[in-house]
A and B are shown apart, each in its own frame.
Chain A
């Protein structure tokens, strides 16, 4: 057990408690940093606790590492960075997620608008959307392989499924919860059905649709590991699956996990920016 890690963890814990006295803006910096340091120290201690020694007769005693420490993971991260895999695989994964997500939005938003607007459409579509929604994309992997083979399309299909259902459901409920007054006044202006959908219903529902897109993008990124599990030769999900297949490269697994998390934060940040655009804000939700 390394003393340094214990001391670091203790110092971080003290900083968290002591930051109570600081001003709000200082706390906004101190708290995440201190919590991050605390988590790193705990990770290190936990990794160390999985180490064990083995004494084979006739051989020197040696220590066996089981779980990678943060330091080992950093080395693996540098390895991925310097041989270009990190960039290549991130782009491959982002490309698949972009295509799958955009397809899901392109089909899911119109379908959701329609099902939210027309009771008949809702009766026909809703039960099946709700029945398919809770099925994990993992369960679809064999079907994706049987349908698309072991190509990009199979991975994109899995991502599409992951984001399609939140988009349809979100859009549908956005339309349903729209104030009746909007529709009545639109009728008074003599708007036709399509104009009504395009110029009143869609913009009014847009803020909630964006929220559902945000959730859907999160899910799309979440399923990247599942999507890239099957014989796809690139991507961050593939990196995890591939590293698991190797002898002892769990440092690569953890490094890839952290990269997936970091990119996830980045994606969420971008969609949040989308929510702030003025033309989106006129909807009925209060911010």
Chain B
């Protein structure tokens, strides 16, 4: 899968600092596949960009974080406060709107502001916002920094929360379906490995993943990633990664209702689940390599 896996095609990971740049690379066909916030992927399809969501990367993995000394104890107490969301086209945004609906709050009662995720912890520390809802590791950063506390994990707000999907260009699906298949199988196998039924093994695997991913790919502090992956274990999960039609329909309905997307689209229009492998026959990850000596080269 990558240079750290057991053979196969080498997929080259590329790190982007924000959604727009990533989206532009995808539109310009400089990028073939990416993990993208689901409503943004839907919006791209609605706007005529030929891409499809073929799989998920993880479930949950986001949190609603407030300042450590914030008086807020319950979601409804966020009324009148300013909360940062990663993008209007994020499912975190839709979740906030869904929660306001469920709790009988006015849609405008929480002031939602869009902010690039890396800037959220700083804005929280500077008291520019009351809290933020975003994917990891930005919640863990505030926790480990000692100025933030997680008000809710996703299991408390929208269990099995879907933030990002694996988005692939239609051209690649048409012309190289076997590549897409291989990529999805690799992700599924990694998911099985990270979510090992034996909890002790799952923790062990996640620790090793933190080291390799932190050092080799994204130049992140392995301690931070380990916190994200193991404390608690259910902060993020890597099971149930086939795009579920019912949940996606719900996201689509919310997006249309909240004016995020102009027209309602059928699941098949933006999803292609044919690559989802049968997990029962998927080969298990057996010889995960030890972390290489820190050469600091990062992903090529």
User: Which residues of B sit under 8 angstroms from A56, Cβ to Cβ?
Assistant: 50, 170, 173-174
Asked if A64 lies at the interface with its beta carbon under 8 angstroms from chain B, I say: yes
Minimum C-beta distance from B178 to chain A (A):
15
Which residues of chain B are within 8 angstroms of A233 by Cβ–Cβ distance? 113
A248 within 8 A of B: yes
Chain A residue numbers with a CB within 8 Å of B123 are 145-146, 149-150
Query: A87 contacts which chain B residues (CB < 8 A)?
Result: none
A69 is an interface residue with CB less than 8 A from chain B: no
Would you call the interface of chain A mostly helix, strand, loop, or mixed?
A: loop
Q: Mark B116-135, 1 if CB is under 8 A from A, else 0.
A: 00010011011111000000
Q: Is the CB of B128 within 8 A of A145?
A: yes
CA distance A145 to B20 in the complex (A): 20
Interface size class of A (residues with CB under 8 A): 20 to 34
A231 touches B115 (CB 8 A): yes
Q: Are A142 and B87 in contact (CB under 8 A)?
A: no
Q: Are A230 and B115 in contact (CB under 8 A)?
A: yes
Write the chain A residue with the least CB distance to B49: A248
Chain B CB within 8 A of A17 CB: no
Residues of chain A with a CB closer than 8 A to B87's CB: 245
The distance from the CB of A248 to the nearest CB of chain B, in whole angstroms, is 4
Contact B88 A245 (CB under 8 A): yes
B294 close to A (CB within 8 Å): no
* A248 and B44 within 8 A (CB): yes
CA separation between A233 and B82, bound complex, in Å? 14
Q: Give the docked Cα–Cα distance between A98 and B190 (Å).
A: 55
- B48 in contact with A142 (CB, 8 Å): no
Is B246 an interface residue, CB under 8 A from the partner? no
Which residues from A are CB-within-8-Å of B267? none
Take A65-B48, A245-B19 as given contacts and tell me if A145 and B170 are in contact as well, using a CB distance cutoff of 8 Å: no
**Quick check: B46 and A247 within 8 Å, CB to CB?**
yes
Cβ of B29 < 8 Å from any Cβ of A?
yes
B193 within 8 A of partner (CB): no
Q: B272 CB to closest chain A CB, in angstroms?
A: 10
* Contact between B174 and A245, CB atoms less than 8 A apart: no
Over the window 56-76 of chain B, the binary record of Cβ atoms lying under 8 Å from chain A Cβ atoms (1 yes, 0 no) is 000000000000000000000
Contacts of B29 in A (CB 8 A): 52, 66
A50 to B23 Cα, complex, angstroms: 16
Interface core residue of B29, B126, B128 (most chain A CB under 10 Å): B128
CA distance A135 to B28 in the complex (A): 31
In the complex formed, the residue of B with least CB distance to A146 is B126
Report B161 CB to chain A, min CB distance, Å.
Answer: 21
A54 and B170 contacting across the interface, CB-CB below 8 Å: yes
Top 9 closest A-B pairs, CB basis? A149-B128, A247-B47, A248-B47, A247-B43, A244-B20, A146-B126, A231-B113, A247-B44, A54-B50
14 CB-based A-B contacts, threshold 8 Å: A54-B170, A56-B50, A142-B122, A145-B123, A146-B122, A146-B125, A147-B126, A149-B128, A150-B113, A150-B115, A230-B119, A244-B20, A244-B24, A245-B89
Given contact pairs A56-B173, A150-B128, enumerate 19 new A-B contacts (beta carbons under 8 Å). A52-B29, A54-B50, A54-B171, A56-B50, A65-B48, A146-B123, A146-B125, A147-B126, A149-B128, A230-B115, A230-B119, A231-B84, A231-B113, A231-B115, A246-B43, A247-B43, A247-B49, A248-B27, A248-B48
